[in-house]
Amino acid sequence: MSEEVIPAPTGPGGLNWMAWLYLLLAVAGGVLPWIANLDFIRAEGSAFDLGLFIRQANANPAARSLSSDLAIGATAVTIWMVRESRRLGMRGLGWVLLSCITIAFAFGAPLFLHLRERRLLELSRTSSEGGSPNV
């Protein structure tokens, strides 16, 4: 069963404003966590100690709440990203998933949404030109 593709209104350059917002969030989601990561590295030594990072991420109830919230939410969204990517015939999912691990989930998820908006626009253009979208 396929879902209907509903194109969002487009702005300058053909992309809709949501695509640009997702791209802006991806940039912020890449920069802000890494500023904190660099602060952690400076405070704890010259290398990234993953074990210490995880211990500190679970050091108190507030940190445990945020860590478990992120882990569960990121897992659910990652499953959806894989399914949605396949449904829409998107390219680049491997790079998105790699960026979720190596840069930050806060970078990878909005990047996926940006790429998804671009794909939806591409499918809507194909559909309006008489082709049949692959959804």
d(CA 131, CA 125): 9
d(CA 85, CA 64): 31
d(CA 112, CA 90): 10
At 128 the pLDDT is: 75
Look up residue 94 and give its amino acid.
G
Q: Is the pLDDT of residue 46 over 90?
A: no
Q: Is the pLDDT of residue 3 over 60?
A: no
pTM exceeds 0.75: yes
Quote the DSSP letter at residue 14. G
Domain ranges of the chain: 23-128
Quote the DSSP letter at residue 13. G
Contact status, residue 133 vs residue 120, Cβ threshold 8 Å? no
CA–CA distances in Å: residue 132 to residues 14, 83, 120: 20, 20, 13
Kindly report, residue by residue over 52-87, the tens digit of the pLDDT: 999 999 999 999 999 999 999 999 999 999 999 999
At 14 the pLDDT is: 66
Q: HSE, CB side, 13 Å, CA atoms: give it for residue 105.
A: 12
